[in-house]
Amino acid sequence: MNATLQKIYAKVPVPVQEWAVTLRGLQIRRQRYGKEFRRLLDEGLTRERQSEGQIRQWQSEQLQRLVAHALTQVPYYREIAERLHLAPGDFRSVADLPKLPILTRDGVRRNFARLVADGVNPKQLWLGHTSGTTGSPLEFYWDNPVVVMTNVVLWRHRACAGFKIGDPFLKLTGNVIVPLAQKTPPYWRYNRALNQLFLSAFHLSEDALPHYVEAIRRFGPRFMDAYPSTAYVLARYVVSRKETIPLRGVFTSSETLLPQQREIIEQAFACEVFDYYGLAERTVFATECEKHAGHHVNMDYGITELVDADGNHVAPGEMGRAVTTGLHNWAMPLLRYETSDVTALGGAPCACGRGFPLMTAVTTKAEDIVVTPDGRHISSSTLTHPFKPMHNIRESQIVQSEPDRIVVKIVPRPEYTDEDTKQLVTGLQERLGDGVRVDLEFLSEIPRERSGKFRWVVSRVPLRF
């Protein structure tokens, strides 16, 4: 939602907001759940049961088509083809992929317009963003095929837990669905079109939580989609009341799921947690199955190579940096795109029988939770949203030492202006409320922890329960 619509939305009564949410749901249903989606989902469910060899063959054919398109229709790759004397015929299988150079985040930023295929109208595309918590934010165009395929892979994952389209489910992620100024229930909005109850991730205080629990029980959901930290706040509260809210499955994503979070969530909702991992770049999608032995890399979604510091492939089972190739975005293909994630691939096959290899835990930043003076628990993932449009920030970090103040450390780019400060502070204030002062601190670099890890949110304020 853009800023103007968001302002109007915040002012209208709850029934009108629910009507708006449902209308948006109808639009999503039309765009993403058509005949094509059903056909592709059936195909996808068959494919995950094929042998690794059969899937590799499928991957190679899809890659050949995409590379041929990129080398002839995308200015950035056309230039590479000329410079390196490459032709579509040079790419017969996945093994030929390293003939292309690695594409870095900076490379995407510098060549953004030239990565878009000839004749594509950007107005007909979606604009995706990364939060840029460990680097500066980036944007990408998504076309219809990649949006549909992302939905297919998402629903194939949900099928592991028996989730069917139309089953009642809860969503507890970053949507600003309930205005912060609202201090009384309902802290949720119902989307009739998708049978989905949106819970606000910004009102999770000890006073509000009993109302959440009551509303969830009334709704009678079967599944929940949440960030690990938001699900954890709710779960901890339910467990502290010595209760359970039985669900059939909880899906988590966007942050590293910590073992103690999984344990409490599974206890509170008396079901298993199915974690998944995807990138806004739409080049990789990895999903946990019912065996929970790691994340399956969905090979029909993208190709993942693991490389060492020199860009050479690491041996199977060894840790390496993920270099990823999306197989479905024709408008803006990303071939051999280097992510900031480090992982290992290719251990023993999973006991579930799926042909997709397992990725061991992705090592990314640890996450933390901001606690506001009025007792709301705010997940760091929800705070990433105001940073998404901030192109003039190279790096950032949020530090909370006392309940009523956060310090945002910023490494600015030369183009950074006061207007950026205004926009960022407004966005954060909308989520944190007036009770928290937001101070900015400008630095030339943000120091890492001794372990070398980078934590985007560092909160020294303990949880309330």
Q: Per-residue x/- marks for Zn ion, 406-435, CB under 5 A?
A: ------------------------------
Q: Does residue 289 belong to the site contacting Zn ion (CB under 5 A)? A: yes
d(CA 97, CA 335): 8
CB 427 within 8 A of CB 393: no
Q: Does residue 160 belong to the site contacting Zn ion (CB under 5 A)? A: no
Phi/psi of residue 431, each to 5°?
-95, -30
Look up tokens 């944007």; give the residue: 139
Number of residues that bind Zn ion (CB under 5 A): 5
Helix-strand-coil split of the chain, %, nearest 5: 35, 20, 40
CA-based diameter of the chain, in Å? 67
The one among 80, 350, 362, 458 contacting Zn ion by CB under 5 A: 350
Window of 79-87, 124-132, 350-358, 450-458 that interacts with Zn ion by CB under 5 A: 350-358
- Strand 377-379 relative to strand 369-371, pairing: antiparallel
Window of 84-92, 102-110, 148-156, 353-361 that interacts with Zn ion by CB under 5 A: 353-361
Q: Does residue 170 belong to the site contacting Zn ion (CB under 5 A)? A: no
| Closer residue to Zn ion (CB): 157 or 171 | 157
Cβ at position 271, least distance to Zn ion in Å: 18
Q: Does residue 362 belong to the site contacting Zn ion (CB under 5 A)? A: no
Q: Which residues in the 86-115 window bind Zn ion by CB under 5 A? A: none
Q: Per-residue x/- marks for Zn ion, 232-251, CB under 5 A?
A: --------------------
| Closer residue to Zn ion (CB): 352 or 463 | 352
Cβ at position 292, least distance to Zn ion in Å: 8
Separation of CA 121 from chain center: 25
Q: Which residues contact 275 (CB under 8 A, 6 or more apart)?
A: 228, 251, 252, 253, 257, 262, 287, 288, 295
Cβ at position 353, least distance to Zn ion in Å: 7
Q: Does residue 286 belong to the site contacting Zn ion (CB under 5 A)? A: no
CA distances from 322 to 107, 198, 273 (A): 16, 33, 25
Cβ at position 286, least distance to Zn ion in Å: 11
Q: Which residues contact 301 (CB under 8 A, 6 or more apart)?
A: 149, 150, 153, 284, 285, 326, 327, 328
Q: Does residue 159 belong to the site contacting Zn ion (CB under 5 A)? A: no
The one among 352, 407, 425, 438 contacting Zn ion by CB under 5 A: 352
Cβ at position 54, least distance to Zn ion in Å: 17
DSSP E strand boundaries for 84-206? 126-129, 139-142, 169-172, 188-191, 196-199
Window of 35-43, 74-82, 170-178, 342-350 that interacts with Zn ion by CB under 5 A: 342-350
User: Which two three-digit tokens encode residue 440?
Assistant: 């900015």
Q: Does residue 291 belong to the site contacting Zn ion (CB under 5 A)? A: yes
Which residues in this chain contact Zn ion in the complex, by CB under 5 A? 289, 291, 350, 352, 354
